[in-house]
Amino acid sequence: MSLRQYRPRLNARRAISNRQTFILFGLLTVAIALQIAYPLVHGEVLRNITILTVYGGAAAMLVHSLFSFGARYFTTYLLATFAFALAIEILGSKTGYPFGDYTYDHSLGIAIAGVPLVVPFAWIMMAHPILIAARRLTPHWAFLYGGLALMAWDVFLDPQMVSAHRWSWVISGAHIPFEPEIPLSNAAGWLFAGMGLIALLHLVLPKERRKVGPSSVVPDIFLLWTLLSGIVGNLFFFHRPGIAGIGGLLFGAVMAPYFFSITLGRPDYL
């Protein structure tokens, strides 16, 4: 055996600096605060909060990826996820595949080929924490777990954005339970697109973390907040108990094994 095996304290991952910790948790706090403000404002303020919420969440996850895995992971993750999300959204909005027939509203700001710039950053916001969960829980089936998680998250997202008129659908068949304005094809589209994205990221992104880096606490908090805020928001602010129920059931069922793993399993995900 090597000397490394007899000196585990020397092999332990060291924490990031106080300054980096402040930046990381500060960004997470801002992202959550913006989401809390969302149901409390209206008009132009609501439009701005909608956009800033996504950029705030994406910034927190990108900074965590940088501090945890380094510049190569950060750059590859940003470019690959942005390119994949933009391409699939352009395809979807132009052809109706794989999500269904939908159109974005101009209120979401600057657009590329009809897709608002903020939309790929929503994918960036969620794919990093979900990839972490998938790699820990089901490393050989990360793509399937990731696709299910992204599909479940969208059950919360789409009704909220449709009711705010950020995008709209043409319904020609079955619809999401409790949400007649969103076709069932959207769930299938998110499942397959999500599997494709997570498979790509799992293939191209480094798996080894930096020797000095943060734990998974920040993305874990963000995932738990996404679940709880989706349930509470739909129950008490958006008056959609059906969405609270089905979204909470789906996203909770996907996330429960991961939360169980980080609570009772090994102390870190790598």
Instruction: Decide which of 27 and 263 is more confident.
Output: 27
Residue 270 pLDDT more than 90? no
pTM of the predicted model as reported, rounded to 2 decimal places: 0.93
DSSP bridge pairs for 176: 179
Residue 154 pLDDT more than 80? yes
CA distance 135 to 244: 27
Query: Mean pLDDT, to the nearest integer, of 162-184?
Result: 93
Query: Mean pLDDT, to the nearest integer, of 226-248?
Result: 97
Query: Mean pLDDT, to the nearest integer, of 232-251?
Result: 96
Residue 12 pLDDT more than 60? no
The confidence band for 264, taking pLDDT boundaries of 50, 70 and 90, is: confident
Residue 7 pLDDT more than 60? no
How many CA atoms within 13 Å lie on the side-chain side of 72? Answer: 7
Query: Mean pLDDT, to the nearest integer, of 97-117?
Result: 96
Tens of pLDDT, residue by residue over 59-83, are 999 999 999 999 999 999 999 999 9
Q: Could you state, in order of their start, the residue ranges of all structural domains in the chain?
A: 16-263
Q: How many other C-beta atoms are found inside a 10 Å radius of the C-beta of residue 51?
A: 19
pLDDT of res. 210: 87
Contacts of 94 (CB under 8 A, 6+ apart): 113, 114
Query: Mean pLDDT, to the nearest integer, of 198-221?
Result: 94
pLDDT of res. 13: 59
Could you tell me which of 232, 254, 253 has the C-alpha nearest to residue 243? 232
Q: Tell me the percentage of the chain whose pLDDT exceeds 90.
A: 87
Asked if 245 and 173 touch (Cβ cutoff 8 Å), the reply is no
pLDDT of res. 9: 45
Residue 115 pLDDT more than 50? yes
CA distance readout (Å), 164 to 20, 39, 168, 204? 36, 11, 10, 36
